[in-house]
Structure 1
Amino acid sequence: MTNHIALFEPLMPANTGNIARTCAGTDTVLHLIRPLGFSLDDKHLKRAGLDYWDQVKIVVHDDLSAFLEQVPDLKHLYLITKFSDRIYSEVDYSDPEQDYYFLFGKETTGLPEKFMRQYQEQCLRIPMTGHIRALNLANTCALVIYEAVRQQHFAGLELTHLYPQDKLH
């Protein structure tokens, strides 16, 4: 089982860098769907991802169609949007034989409405008040991917971490 985060036309390098760091920490593949609002050499992107870039598998796609062609089973592609009545934590992500793909829209406009309507059954939302338009993209990715790895019993992740001095004993 592999988890995947896909960012549709991300605009902000700091968000993408933070998401890359979350991907490194959860062994999640990061997909970037062009056009990007920054260069992959951007200093803000690199700073936000710290020194974890070599720990992240990044796949860049020319457009949404190219990304969809790479998803082996579209039934396990989930669109994260506020335009859904289905909550992200109500889905079962625990099948060890299955890859899970979580697609997030760009910071300013989200995912294309026509596309979301086409895949309405796979749209999921994070509950929030009506006081804001959306949560921060990096925070949203972290919430969703950690729900998936929680259901997967944190497979492959460290469940405990010792203080450096405790490793000596």
Structure 2
Amino acid sequence: MFNIVLVSPQIPPNTGNIGRICVNTNSTLHLVKPLGFSIDEKEIKRAGLDYWNRVDLVVWESLDHFLKNNKKFLDRFFFATTKAKKSYFDVEFKSGDFLIFGSETEGLPIDFMRLKW
């Protein structure tokens, strides 16, 4: 359904919970390194419950690596940020869209968001 992208996630339980949501919505979870944890940590598996082994997971070595492989979908990138110019209520989402979230501590890099602004 969707592509959920976590850029440099730092908190294992958050990622585990999002992984569980991805399984239940038939969405792909993209993790962009550097990660603040190992994807083998028990906290991730605990938050993901019995779903973690069923997550459609793609791990990218860097934001540049992710962009190089997905830039053709740039028009369907949607950034979760307080700096957005448009509310998500005003968007007509489509299957395959990329919902992109920054790290819990730093958010998304401004240069990355400028790709759409």
Task: Give the TM-score category using the shorter length.
Answer: over 0.9
Tell me how large the CA RMSD over aligned residues is.
1.3
Q: Deviations over 1:65-102 (max 9, x none)?
A: 111122242100111100023111211124xxx52001
Partner AA of 1:112 in structure 2? P
How far apart are the structure 1 equivalents of 2:34 and 2:96? 25
Higher normalized contact order (CA 8 Å, seq sep 6+, divided by chain length): 2
Q: Report if aligned partners of 2:3, 2:28 keep a CA contact under 8 Å in 1.
A: yes
How far apart are the structure 1 equivalents of 2:68 and 2:38? 24
CA shift, 1:115, in A, is 1.8
Q: State the partner residue of 1:18.
A: 17
Percent identity, please: 43
Once the two structures are superposed, the pairs formed by residues 62-141 of structure 1 within 5 Å of their partners are: 62-71=61-70, 72-94=72-94, 99-120=96-117
More strand by share: 2
CA shift, 1:54, in A, is 2.6
TM-score (norm 2): 0.92
Moved beyond 6 Å, runs of 4+? none
Provide structure 2 residue ranges, at least 5 long, that are not aligned to the other structure: none
Larger Rg: 1
